[in-house]
Amino acid sequence: MQTDSYINEFKSADKKPFALRDLAWAVFVIVGSYFAHLQYGHLMDVYEEGILIGTALSLIALGRFWPSIQTVTVVTTAMTLLALWTYQNNGDLITANEQAFFLKFLISSQSAIMWMSALFVLATVTYFFALYTKSDFAYKTATFMVWSGSTFGLVGMMVRWRESYLINFDYGHIPVSSLYEVFILFVVMTALMYLYYEQRYKTRALGGFVMLVISAAVAFLLWYTFDKGAHVIQPLVPALKSYWMKIHVPANFVGYGAFSIAAMIGVAYLITDKALRTNPNSVFATKMPSLELMDDLMYKTIALGFAFFTIATVLGAMWAAEAWGGYWSWDPKETWALIVWLNYAAWLHIRMSKGWRGTPMAWWAFIGLLITTFAFLGVNMFLSGLHSYGEL
């Protein structure tokens, strides 16, 4: 078994960044947060101001822990500010989108999301091509595509946030409020988490497998856009006009993204294990990480996802108490969220208490993705309840 060696520009997450860079990063985040408060503080209540402070502190800590996210954040900020400046200097929303070249073809929300979609699909193909050819250049190209796609996705979300206010001030909302928007959040979150683990474990061989689930989400997103017109910004239902939205939904999708990564690593594990059983000298297996590494990565991603999903579930219960007068109502969405939670709680319990490893846990991780997909999407399609505002 081999793991791919990393090129110099990708720093291991274990290396402590320079103190000067830490300081510059903290100043950048603090200044940006202060500017955001100056611009939009009059629209915030005390809870949203707390969320802003908490986000800034979390971003400073994340940037120190994972320096690569600093570059993504700076580029995203620059592109978003360019889009906002262009809107401000080109009249109304429609005129700006028709007349401003970079806005029309690159950094309006819909253009950025289309770039994100194209880059993620191309990255999927390129990762598998690199795996087949063992081409380091192809691997680097695929990784660059994922970084670029993630950046465009973040830009699309940030610009869409502003566009919602430009269309109609009463429509304004954080772009994690509709099924269309949370699909964008899902693919960006999943891609960024994968990139962290790619750097942490110093292997790109799993990229194609993880990008398959992202490409599947992109395919749904494109269908939802062109067939249903889901990209059109609509006013929120009253239940979603809450500061809880800003913390509950992102926490939820860290969980969903981590579970998806674990499932696709499980698929890679099963294929590699079968190849080794068929032929101990399998060429394919020599291109993949060791079974031990994949097993460890499955465990760590599920543990991360479970932690965030637990937080999201607690936050959702608190939101429900405020919006509907009760912490739990056995709504189909709540019930399936509990099923997802119990599934991964059992996965972690069996691994830690019984020491299960390998093939059965890989199958379980994959089946867990099917359960999670139904909880995320199937409930919206086939069941109704208090969360029916998210249906197709």
Region 230-259 average pLDDT: 88
Q: What is the pLDDT of residue 2?
A: 42
The residue among 88 and 388 whose pLDDT is bigger is: 88
Region 283-291 average pLDDT: 92
Residue 244 is assigned to a structural domain of this protein: yes
Residue 343 is assigned to a structural domain of this protein: yes
User: With helix as H, strand as E and coil as C, how does the chain read?
Assistant: CCCCCCCCCCCCCCCCCCHHHHHHHHHHHHHHHHHHHHHHHHHCCHHHHHHHHHHHHHHHHHHHHCCHHHHHHHHHHHHHHHHHHHHHCCCCHHHHHHHCHHHHHHHCHHHHHHHHHHHHHHHHHHHHHHHHHCCHHHHHHHHHHHHHHHHHHHHHHHHHHHHHHHHCHHHCCCCCCCHHHHHHHHHHHHHHHHHHHHHHHCCCCCHHHHHHHHHHHHHHHHHHHHHHCCCCCCCCCHHHCCCCHHHHHHHHHHHHHHHHHHHHHHHHHHHHHHHHHHCCCCHHHHHCCCHHHHHHHHHHHHHHHHHHHHHHHHHHHHHHHHHHCCCCCCCHHHHHHHHHHHHHHHHHHHHHHHCCCCHHHHHHHHHHHHHHHHHHHHHHHHCCCCCHHHCC
Residue 147 is assigned to a structural domain of this protein: yes
Q: What is the pLDDT of residue 3?
A: 42
Segments forming the whole domain that contains residue 269? 101-390
DSSP states of 89-116: TSSSHHHHHHH-HHIIIIISHHHHHHHH
Residue 49 is assigned to a structural domain of this protein: no
Residue 41 is assigned to a structural domain of this protein: no
Q: Which of 15-29, 141-155, 375-389 has the lowest mean pLDDT?
A: 375-389
Residue 105 is assigned to a structural domain of this protein: yes
Residue 250 is assigned to a structural domain of this protein: yes
Residue 40 is assigned to a structural domain of this protein: no
Whether residue 60 is predicted with pLDDT greater than 60 in this model: the reply is: yes
357-387: pLDDT as tens digits: 999 999 999 999 999 999 888 887 766 655 5
Whether residue 285 is predicted with pLDDT greater than 60 in this model: the reply is: yes
- Report the domain count for the chain: 1
Cα–Cα nearest to 298, from 356, 325, 258, 238 = 258
What global pTM score does this model have?
Answer: 0.90
